[in-house]
Structure 1
């Protein structure tokens, strides 16, 4: 697949990219750093974030994460300009469209919180 042009991503593309929790973990981590990150280090970081959800992390799970990052998630994010991948250095950095994705992700999280708060208020469970 050809890399995405430098224009902004459509809403459908953004929602598709954000539909995977693993890609959301990647975006969270890479939006916190501007330094190049290897796929191995990214897999370790994603595994830690996923372990917080499941309370378990094994080398086998890190290996599975590394494989899905390498073959699925990173290429998809690169194709849409959210990440840049230097295959020779085996590293990734935020791409020019990362801000579009992180802004939508932040807005969705903020909205989810306000909807939950509103629901609790309506139910009288504040």
Structure 2
């Protein structure tokens, strides 16, 4: 099974556009629709995001997965740019937080600058 997973991850890394993937993930995670009443399905379970961040990120990073007025500038270009009252306690990621998580999970890597 690991060989299949490794091949899939390699295939995704080789052919995926990070500049298109990040907004798609943000849109899915930050979707404010109620999945119990709307015909909405998520690619990523928001509870898993908190559990993964708690287990894999350092210090209090897990709290960065939630919207914070003090970091409103990180969300300004998103639509929506803050959660609804009903989703106030659900993960709501900024692009920078998502990128940190994807780097930690080794799903993306920073390109080295060419001299």
For normalisation by structure 1, the TM-score amounts to 0.29
Relative to its length, the structure with more strand (as a share) is 1
TM-score by length of 2: 0.30
- Give the greater-gyration-radius structure (CA): 1
